Amino acid sequence: MEKLSTQPYKGTRDFYPRDMKLRNWFFGVIRKALETAAFDEYNGPMLESLDLYIAKSGEEIANEQTYNFTDRGGRRLAVRPEMTPTVARLVAAKMGELNFPLKWFSIPNLYRYERPQRGRLREHWQVNVDIFGCDTFDADLEVISTAIMLLRAFGADSSMFKMHINNRRFFNDVIATIAGTDAEGSRKVSKVVDRKNKIPREAYVTEMKNLGLDDEKIEKIDSLYTMSVDQATSLCPDSVGSAELLQLFSALRECKLDKYCVFDFGIIRGLDYYTGTVFEMFDEAPENNRAMFGGGRYDNLVGLFVKNTNISGVGFGFGDVTLENFLVTHDLIPDIYAQSTKVLVTRFDDVPYAKYAATVDKLREAGIVSSVYVGTKKFGKQIDYAVKENYTHVVILGATEVVQGTVKIKDLATHEEKTIEYYELANFFKKRK
């Protein structure tokens, strides 16, 4: 019979204990920081109706970029590619009972159907942080300061990352002001500006000229990319977006978070559902300088589910691959494999198994990570096993020790052996935990 492949599916990963320990560590840091900041965790199903993603992103993107199929009841399902439609659904379902503003987070696994590349796998885990039901800039500030807080929780400082911030209302208004076009015209110009960095300069200029913009106007738009928030907003002082930007940056300065933040007209986040503040977190390492994650304010998602409602949301999603890259790049991973006490109770044939079971029970009751050796291999093999599995100590309890009421402890780092009274065993390890 032909043997099955041992490889995981393309673009997905296996997490062996060492990998899992790392992921549990960094999501543990994040979970603790978010819980301390009074965010509540939620989750939802891995399979969702494909309609959720079609309604948000259109039929083509939903079909192409998600794993989707039809169940035997004719329902079109998708393996969730992102968490935002799910959380909007949860909020919509219990709108009347929920106590706004909600501060929610989740750490789901997500699937994207795309060609795997560095930092972009088909399966990843993503921290999602959202605030629902606060229309003022306070929620934007809270979400941005939370993103900064999460990186700081790992010991990262302002030399390592920078939050780039823009505003979609401001973007639309300043384009309209400079281009002098009507609403429809501005929308078309915005679409070209959105693609500015994805197409050759020449093509960009041609497209802009086709929309009626002359060199001066094109240059004026160019200049926005290097302006401070004060300069940029002075171009359209009456825009609600300008006011929002100024208010946000003023609060960031007040809270001494401005050293982590910068105004960046280049942050648009596609022409999708964002309506106000948008932001992207950049890794500042020269060799890794790029956006790690982004987010912003979206006002209409809950409205996909419930008529005549407008519960605004603001949030971001931050993937595990990106986070790990960032931590590795800046050497922010402590020695999580460092050996905290882990005790293997070795076995001999001439001592009843019950003695070993009782010993390990005693150690575990005292909170000491411990195990009886599983199996009947010779003592030397048991020691080899203990060394390879990062045990710090072995407990030796042979017939002699049992008769004497003692126990021998071998420290696997120093190779020292020590004989103590059996009843002192748990205390011995408790002291050095």
What residues from 75 to 134 belong to the interface with a second copy (CB under 8 A)?
A: 75, 77, 79, 89-90, 92-94, 99, 101, 103-104, 109, 111, 113, 123, 131, 134
Six-digit token string for 107: 């750490």
Using CB under 8 A as the binding rule, the residues of this chain from 272 to 311 that contact a second copy are: 304-307
Site stretch for a second copy (CB under 8 A), options 33-41, 156-164, 181-189, 281-289: 33-41
Per CB under 8 A, 35 contacts a second copy = yes
Per CB under 8 A, 338 contacts a second copy = no
Residue whose CB is less far from a second copy, 224 or 302 = 302
Residues 6+ apart with CB under 8 A from 53: 61, 62, 66, 78, 81, 82, 85
Residue whose CB is less far from a second copy, 102 or 174 = 102
Min separation Cβ 290 and a second copy, Å? 26
Please name which of 141, 139, 119 lies closest in space to residue 318, comparing C-alpha atoms. 119
Is the alpha carbon torsion for 249, 252, 258, 260 positive or negative?
negative
Backbone angles phi, psi at 197, to 5 degrees: -85, 0
Residues 6+ apart with CB under 8 A from 226: none
Reduced to 3 states (helix: H, G, I; strand: E, B; else coil), residue 363 is: helix
Residue whose CB is less far from a second copy, 91 or 160 = 91
Using CB under 8 A as the binding rule, the residues of this chain from 344 to 403 that contact a second copy are: 344, 352-354, 357-358, 360, 364, 367-372, 374-376, 385, 388-389, 391
Per CB under 8 A, 227 contacts a second copy = no
Residue whose CB is less far from a second copy, 60 or 331 = 60
Per CB under 8 A, 40 contacts a second copy = yes
Q: Which of 29, 55, 321, 402 binds a second copy (CB under 8 A)?
A: 55
Residue whose CB is less far from a second copy, 94 or 198 = 94
Tokens 């998708």 sit at which residue? 78
Per CB under 8 A, 270 contacts a second copy = no
Six-digit token string for 115: 């060609």
Residue whose CB is less far from a second copy, 192 or 368 = 368
Residue whose CB is less far from a second copy, 157 or 254 = 254
Alpha helix (H) ranges present in 94-136? none
Count residues contacting a second copy (CB under 8 A)? 95
Residue whose CB is less far from a second copy, 153 or 235 = 153
Q: Which of 126, 145, 275, 346 binds a second copy (CB under 8 A)?
A: 145
Six-digit token string for 55: 């309604």
Min separation Cβ 135 and a second copy, Å? 8
Number of other residues whose CB lies within 10 A of the CB of residue 378: 9
Site stretch for a second copy (CB under 8 A), options 74-82, 235-243, 288-296, 397-405: 74-82
Backbone angles phi, psi at 76, to 5 degrees: -85, 120
Residue 186 near residue 179, CB atoms below 8 Å: yes
Min separation Cβ 226 and a second copy, Å? 29
Site stretch for a second copy (CB under 8 A), options 4-12, 155-163, 188-196, 222-230: 4-12
Site stretch for a second copy (CB under 8 A), options 46-54, 160-168, 397-405, 422-430: 46-54
Q: What single-letter amino acid sits at 307?
A: K
Six-digit token string for 103: 């501060």
Please name which of 251, 315, 235, 239 lies closest in space to residue 277, comparing C-alpha atoms. 315
Please name which of 151, 134, 137 lies closest in space to residue 34, comparing C-alpha atoms. 151
Using CB under 8 A as the binding rule, the residues of this chain from 5 to 24 that contact a second copy are: 5-10, 12-17, 20-21, 23-24
Q: In terms of C-beta density within 10 A (0-12 exposed, 13-18 middle, 19 or more buried), how is residue 195 classed? A: middle
Min separation Cβ 235 and a second copy, Å? 27
Is the alpha carbon torsion for 417, 409, 347, 397 positive or negative?
positive
Residue 66 near residue 81, CB atoms below 8 Å: yes
Min separation Cβ 9 and a second copy, Å? 5
Please give the full DSSP string across 395-427, using - where no structure is assigned.
EE--HHHHHHTEEEEEETTT--EEEEEGGGHHH
Is the alpha carbon torsion for 5, 11, 12, 13 positive or negative?
positive
Q: Which of 198, 256, 378, 415 binds a second copy (CB under 8 A)?
A: 256
